[in-house]
Amino acid sequence: MSERLSVRKTYKLFIGGAFPRSESGRSYVVTSAKGEFLANASKASRKDARDAVSAARKAFPGWSGATAYNRGQVIYRVAEMLESRRAQFTAEIVAADGVSGKKAGELVDAAVDRLVWYAGWSDKIGAIRGSANPVAGPYFNLSSTEPTGVVAVVAPPSGPLLGLISVIAPVIVTGNTCVVVASERAPLPSITLAEVLATSDLPGGVVNVLTGNAEEIAPWLAGHMDVNGIDLTGATPELAQSCEELAAENLKRVLRPEAGPIDWLADPGTERMTAFLETKTVWHPIGV
Amino acid sequence: MFEYAPAPESRDVVDIKPSYGLFVNGEFVDGSGTAFKTINPASEEKLAEIAAASAADVDLAVQAARKAFTTWSAMPGAERAKYLFRIARIIQERSRELAVLESLDNGKPIRESRDVDLPLVAAHFFYYAGWADKLEYAGYGTRPIGVAGQVIPWNFPLLMLAWKIAPALACGNTVVLKPAETTPLTALLFAEICQQADLPPGVVNIVTGAGETGAAVVNHPDVDKVAFTGSTEVGRLIARSVAGTGKKVTLELGGKAANIVYEDAALDQAVEGIVNGIFFNQGHVCCAGSRLLVQESIAAELLDSLKRRLGTLRLGDPLDKNTDIGAINSAAQLAKIRELSDAGEQEGAERWSPACAIPDRGFWFPPTVFTGVAQSHRIAREEIFGPVLSVLTFRTPGEAVEKANNTPFGLSAGVWTEKASLMLWTADRLRAGVVWSNTFNRFDPASPFGGYKESGYGREGGRHGLEAYLAGSAPRESR
Amino acid sequence: MSTLTTSFSSNASLRGFLHGLPGVDKVGADARAAMLGTRSIKTTAKRQAIDLAISMVDLTTLEGADTPGKVRAMCAKAMHPDPTNPDVPRVAAVCVYPDLVAEAVQAVKGSGVKVASVATAFPSGRSSLEVKVTDTALAVAAGADEVDMVIDRGAFLAGDYLKVFEEIVAIKAACGDAHLKVILETGELATYDNVRRASWLAMLAGGDFIKTSTGKVQPAATLPVTLIMLEAVRDFLATHGRKVGVKPAGGIRTTKDAIKMLVLVNETTGDGWLDPDWFRLGASSVLNDLLMQRQKQDTGRYSGPDYFTLD
């Protein structure tokens, strides 16, 4: 008997909860760290980026309007489902990064833990970032946090799952919706993650994943007038600068790439959440 | 008829010099640019000759600030606090002088500079003085950023200076500040106050000039942090120019705030809030309530009350203690207000102003209300930055919020209702950094201020205001 | 029922009306009044204001120790506030208890100074309607031009608006031709919403004036309360076509206090109310301060209390 011929998978984009091919019809070959063929992935175009922004915008009122507790529950549920796909992610990380199975397993564990950690922030970040302000007058004055809106995320090329989770989770846990430009070299975990998200309780459009070339897609997102913020963590310095310039057009909130390599295992702090939070201050008189 | 006799505040309380230099490294020095004059917009008389800072002058100021940063940032917070407390106290002591000077140079009524600007300026320094030795409790780390380049507008010259300088200094930064070209005088008097307080040289540097001077401050490579308050247009330029430099930026930009009046509002107070929202400071307020959204069921009644109330506004000499509406700050701003108001008429909105005498000299614009305004009209979308109110109506709370948010701006908003749950529902949905419910245009150093969307980013005031001037938390240990 | 009176068939319909009035935000009202309090009234405007204020004073004595002698002395002062200076206008009225009305009427006869009498079991109003009507009738019979009644605050606070309303209607009837001033006793009503509602209630019931206070309860005639009552008469004229006067009373002690009141009138109702027929100041000690300030304007020197009579 001959060896069974494997069924190869074509990885598609994730937009508005569905998995369309790129409208451009383009795809590209994804290889392993050793250069072996892994799969075909869709190569997103600017129109895909536009569609993803529309989907993210559409999802924003519902997701930002959900209770913080509910968002935490949904994200925790994603962590549970991620855990159950541990083996698949481990294999994909081994293939993508050429690390050992043990190391890849640790990275998946860290990614799950990171998600759980962020899930817990949903109903706490407002408490530590908001304030009751003692103004000099008969006024109740309260500052609270609100999500910025639609955030574009240029995912880091390294750390295919942990890095990805570490940039997506802080953006969405506070109520933003996002369009993620996945690592071009290692996009498969991002689409597998999308498959997890699609079957979780996360509403369609909260996370949208585009695979392809960041240099091509990110500037369209940076210049898009209906995108409110952009995380340039995965951008090269040149791409980051041009995106920051484009982002100026509608005064997007910009999270710049870090100067050196990022230790994704380190405590991320709250900065990735606060970068895409607005502070709203409400005044009201106090009187009989 | 009960006519109020003129009640002018004495301008003799302030001594204006014929000319002013730049304030660099604790001393007044000549500027190498072409000097310019600052005028009293209420009379067009020249007040003083002002030095213009060239790029080279700005460089000297930045160098002075850099040098001062070493010692200022290393100084115990409690000591920095004492300098700021000292400045706050001097401002209180000289507040009458500063208020008169502000009204002369800016055109705002003395009642406002005396009762609003100056008390807030002193309060801001007092507030941030207290933070200087408590930064570790604020949650943004304790490391200052370095040299802050700050560019401020002409609408609240001294107050904007306070918003910029007080938190910067409290956190251990040093500053190079450029006041607006048309209103440099109180910043220069503030420089004297720094000397009077024995503030170490170079901690505060004031460079006067126009847009080029501002650009030189923003683009100086040794400036670590840029803070700007002004138009969205210039804010965009700044955001673009700092791209890739790693400079930390906060921007306080334009607005087109909706002031929503529901049918169950306390109408007399709502009328006051509308008046205060758009006619305070001649409407030269980024957070002005320039779009009145009134529920259709009470629109006619509310407009009658509003018009009657506007008939009592007193326009004229800014130094008269009974003046409500002062002068427009500059000929250029007056031209812009006129252009947009004319556009409003051409687009079909109905224009109304109370009968009011306009002085012969100076720059003036009567309080103006446009009714029958549609969302598509320019006067409903563009920031006029003058005493011009656009009135729109709505039928339901959902429509009110939708119209309020239908703008690229997001600085402030107002909501008037006696029903608490409707107020909170509305406030929740308004995409704006400050929501005044059943009040408008209230400011306090303890209260964060800043915008959503194209109204800029960063917050000034309160604990939140420290974030702009601190380098963030130190890296954490690995988990 | 007078044609000036709006009729209400039930407490519920009256309550519905009063609670349908726009609310008052205390902080906003206080801020507006405080802002108007910063108006700077100098030189000619001050002189005009002082004379106007003098002409609006209801010179008042409402003490248990009042006697005919005390009332006669006060009346003399009312007619000639500054005996050394005939330019000084007379005050608007004297205000006394009902049993001293006859004395006052006799004393001010022919001067144009009106006689006002408190009535209706002043100041608490805690008696039967019968007693209140009799009290009023006695004052009117003795020659009172004006009656200052108190509302039943207990009934008002208990939500029995119709009782308060009907009482005012009854007293108005007992007044005959005398003008009725309705004292709300705003210090006991506690909230500005109540002040607004009580103002409207009094106007709907036919009151000719609404008056803040008895002078026996603090706070009395504050600026914000007067502001709210001025807004009420302004709006009542617009909606019901009848003009009602306003009388702040109690706590107005200085010229500055009095001028602030006039500024409030000027910028709230307009000058239609800047007239003793439509605005009164219930006070006593303020008169000497007005006279002192007036003399300062004439002579350029500060004066002292020894130069003004203490009646």
B360 and B264 in a common domain: yes
| Cβ <8 Å between A143 and B246 | no
- Using alpha carbons only, how large is chain C's radius of gyration in Å? 19
- Collect all residues of chain B within an 8 Å Cβ-Cβ radius of residue A131: 448, 462-464
pLDDT band at B157 (very low <50, low <70, confident <90, very high): very high
CA nearest A140 in B: which residue?
A: B437
B111 and B93 in a common domain: yes
B244 and B304 in a common domain: no
Q: β-strands B36-39, B46-50: how paired?
A: antiparallel
**Residue carrying the six token digits 């709370």:** B397
CA nearest A225 in B: which residue?
A: B408
Percent helix, strand and coil across chain A, each to the nearest 5:
45, 20, 35
CATH code for position C130: 3.20.20.70
What average pLDDT does the structure give for chain A? Answer: 96
- Collect all residues of chain C within an 8 Å Cβ-Cβ radius of residue B312: 267
d(CA C228, CA C248): 11
With vertex at residue B387, the alpha carbon angle to CA B382 and CA B391, rounded to the nearest 5 degrees, is: 65
pLDDT band at C243 (very low <50, low <70, confident <90, very high): very high
What average pLDDT does the structure give for chain B? Answer: 97
CA nearest C229 in B: which residue?
A: B268
Whether chain A has a CB inside 8 Å of the CB on C188: the answer is: no
| C306 lies in some domain | no
In this prediction, residue B477 carries a pLDDT of 37
d(CA A261, CA A158): 10
| C257 lies in some domain | yes
Nearest by CB: C262 against B2, B115, B266:
B2
In this prediction, residue A83 carries a pLDDT of 94
B23 and B116 in a common domain: yes
CB contact at 8 A, A231 and A167: yes
In this prediction, residue C186 carries a pLDDT of 98
B-proximal residues of C, 216-275, CB under 8 Å: 228, 231, 262, 266-267, 271, 274
* Best residue in B4, B280, B295 for a mutation probing chain C (most C CBs within 10 Å): B4
Nearest by CB: A286 against C27, C190, C191:
C27
Q: What are the Cα distances from residue C28, in Å, to A136, B199, C91, C224?
A: 15, 40, 34, 10
DSSP at B144: B
In this prediction, residue B475 carries a pLDDT of 44
- Collect all residues of chain C within an 8 Å Cβ-Cβ radius of residue A286: 27
B309 and B323 in a common domain: yes
**Residue carrying the six token digits 């108005």:** C172
Catalogue all structural domains in chain A, each as residue range(s) with its CATH number.
10-285 (3.40.605.10)
Please give the average per-residue pLDDT across A67-81, as a whole number.
Answer: 98
In this prediction, residue B476 carries a pLDDT of 40
In this prediction, residue C3 carries a pLDDT of 53
Please give the average per-residue pLDDT across B118-125, as a whole number.
Answer: 98
CB atoms within 10 A of CB B137: 9
CB atoms within 10 A of CB C112: 11
Distance from CA of A59 to the nearest CA of B (A): 15
Nearest by CB: B123 against A134, A136, A141:
A136
| pLDDT beyond 80 at C5 | no
| C309 lies in some domain | no
A113-141 burial code (b ≥16 CB/10 A, e <16): bbbbbbbebbeebbeebbbebebeeebeb
Please give the average per-residue pLDDT across B142-162, as a whole number.
Answer: 98
A121 — phi, psi (to 5°)?
A: -75, -15
Whether chain B has a CB inside 8 Å of the CB on A265: the answer is: yes
Whether chain A has a CB inside 8 Å of the CB on C131: the answer is: no
| C163 lies in some domain | yes
| B475 lies in some domain | no
- Total domains present in chain B: 2
Query: Which residue intervals of B110-210 are DSSP H helices?
Result: 110-112, 118-131, 157-170, 185-196
What is the count of residue pairs from B and C with beta carbons less than 8 Å apart? 67
Nearest to B41 by CA among B179, B163, B161, B185: B185
d(CA C266, CA C52): 12
CATH code for position B317: 3.40.309.10
CATH code for position B137: 3.40.605.10
Q: What are the Cα distances from residue B439, in Å, to A282, B276, B430?
A: 10, 9, 16
* Best residue in B115, B224, B405, B447 for a mutation probing chain A (most A CBs within 10 Å): B447
Active-site hit among C172, C181, C211, C260: C211
Residues 6+ apart with CB under 8 A from B336: B384, B385, B386
| B420 lies in some domain | yes
Nearest to B218 by CA among B240, B233, B194: B240
| Cβ <8 Å between A287 and C26 | yes
Whether chain B has a CB inside 8 Å of the CB on A133: the answer is: yes
Decide: helix, strand or coil at residue A187: coil
pLDDT: which is higher, C97 or A8? C97
**Residue carrying the six token digits 């004052």:** C139
CB contact at 8 A, A155 and A163: yes
| Cβ <8 Å between A244 and B243 | yes
| Cβ <8 Å between A135 and B446 | yes
CB atoms within 10 A of CB B136: 10
B396 and B347 in a common domain: yes
B181-195 burial code (b ≥16 CB/10 A, e <16): bbbbbbbbbbbebbe
d(CA C216, CA B438): 33
Exposed, middle or buried, B157 (CB in 10 Å: 0-12/13-18/19+)?
buried
B94 and B62 in a common domain: yes
CB contact at 8 A, A277 and A174: yes
d(CA B186, CA A215): 48
Please give the average per-residue pLDDT across A147-165, as a whole number.
Answer: 94
Whether chain A has a CB inside 8 Å of the CB on C126: the answer is: no
**Is the predicted ipTM greater than 0.90, yes or no?**
yes
Q: β-strands B258-261, B248-252: how paired?
A: unpaired
Whether chain C has a CB inside 8 Å of the CB on B7: the answer is: yes
Nearest by CB: A281 against B449, B476, B478:
B449
pLDDT: which is higher, B272 or C5? B272
DSSP at B116: I
What is the count of residue pairs from A and B with beta carbons less than 8 Å apart? 122
Active-site hit among C148, C193, C208, C289: C148
| Cβ <8 Å between B7 and C42 | yes
Query: Which residue intervals of A45-187 are DSSP H helices?
Result: 46-65, 68-84, 86-97, 101-121, 125-129, 162-173
| Cβ <8 Å between A285 and C191 | no
In this prediction, residue B104 carries a pLDDT of 98
| B439 lies in some domain | yes
Q: What are the Cα distances from residue A46, in Å, to A145, A207, A220, B468?
A: 32, 17, 6, 34
Residues 6+ apart with CB under 8 A from B150: B164, B165, B168, B175, B176, B177, B178, B217, B226, B227, B228
CA nearest A246 in B: which residue?
A: B240
| Cβ <8 Å between C49 and B312 | no
- Using alpha carbons only, how large is chain B's radius of gyration in Å? 22
Whether chain A has a CB inside 8 Å of the CB on C190: the answer is: yes
The model's pLDDT over B56-102, given as tens digits with 9 standing for 90+, comes to: 999 999 999 999 999 999 999 999 999 999 999 999 999 999 999 99
Residue C240 tokens, joined: 């019901």
The model's pLDDT over B362-405, given as tens digits with 9 standing for 90+, comes to: 999 999 999 999 999 999 999 999 999 999 999 999 999 999 99
B264 and B246 in a common domain: no
Nearest by CB: C28 against B7, B111, B269:
B269
B86 and B230 in a common domain: yes
| pLDDT beyond 50 at B478 | no
The model's pLDDT over C96-135, given as tens digits with 9 standing for 90+, comes to: 999 999 999 999 999 999 999 999 999 999 999 999 999 9
Cross-strand bridge partners of residue C94: C59, C115
Nearest to B272 by CA among B233, B297, B239, B302: B302
Decide: helix, strand or coil at residue B435: strand
| C84 lies in some domain | yes
Active-site hit among C114, C172, C247, C260: C247
Nearest by CB: A285 against C25, C190, C191:
C25
CA nearest A134 in B: which residue?
A: B446
Whole-model pTM above 0.90?
Answer: yes
| Cβ <8 Å between B266 and C52 | no
In this prediction, residue A3 carries a pLDDT of 86
CB contact at 8 A, A23 and A46: no
Distance from CA of B25 to the nearest CA of A (A): 33
d(CA A276, CA C112): 75
B282 and B209 in a common domain: no
Distance from CA of C202 to the nearest CA of A (A): 22
In this prediction, residue A113 carries a pLDDT of 98
| pLDDT beyond 90 at C9 | no
B294 and B237 in a common domain: no
Decide: helix, strand or coil at residue B408: coil
B459 and B430 in a common domain: no
Whether chain B has a CB inside 8 Å of the CB on A67: the answer is: no
Domain that holds residue B304: 258-444
| pLDDT beyond 70 at A70 | yes
CA nearest C191 in A: which residue?
A: A288
In this prediction, residue A236 carries a pLDDT of 96
Nearest by CB: A278 against B232, B452, B454:
B452
B383 belongs to the catalytic site: no
d(CA B66, CA B70): 7
C121: left (phi over 0), alpha (psi -120 to 50) or beta: left
| pLDDT beyond 50 at B343 | yes
pLDDT band at C4 (very low <50, low <70, confident <90, very high): low
Nearest by CB: B477 against A133, A245, A267:
A267
Residues 6+ apart with CB under 8 A from A248: B236, B237, B239, B240, B243
CA nearest A287 in C: which residue?
A: C26
Decide: helix, strand or coil at residue C141: helix
Residue C280 is which amino acid? R
Nearest by CB: C23 against B2, B6, B418:
B418
- Collect all residues of chain B within an 8 Å Cβ-Cβ radius of residue A138: none
Cross-strand bridge partners of residue B286: none
| pLDDT beyond 60 at C205 | yes
- Total domains present in chain C: 1
CB contact at 8 A, A219 and B200: no
Percent helix, strand and coil across chain C, each to the nearest 5:
50, 10, 40
Please give the average per-residue pLDDT across B426-452, as a whole number.
Answer: 98
Percent of chain B clearing pLDDT 90 (strictly above): 98
- Collect all residues of chain C within an 8 Å Cβ-Cβ radius of residue B115: 38
What average pLDDT does the structure give for chain C? Answer: 96
| C2 lies in some domain | no
Domain that holds residue C208: 29-297
d(CA C59, CA C276): 13
Whether chain C has a CB inside 8 Å of the CB on A287: the answer is: yes
Q: What are the Cα distances from residue A124, in Å, to A118, A119, A280, B33, B267?
A: 10, 10, 16, 53, 38
CB contact at 8 A, A145 and A277: yes
CB contact at 8 A, C54 and C88: yes
Whether chain A has a CB inside 8 Å of the CB on C191: the answer is: yes
In this prediction, residue A89 carries a pLDDT of 95
- Using alpha carbons only, how large is chain A's radius of gyration in Å? 20
CB contact at 8 A, C244 and C236: yes
The model's pLDDT over C261-285, given as tens digits with 9 standing for 90+, comes to: 999 999 999 999 999 999 999 999 9
Distance from CA of C254 to the nearest CA of A (A): 27
In the sheet that A253-255 helps form, which strands lie side by side, from edge to edge? A207-210, A177-181, A150-154, A229-231, A253-255
CB contact at 8 A, C248 and C261: yes
d(CA A27, CA A13): 10
Active-site hit among B252, B454, B460, B467: B252
d(CA A21, CA A42): 6
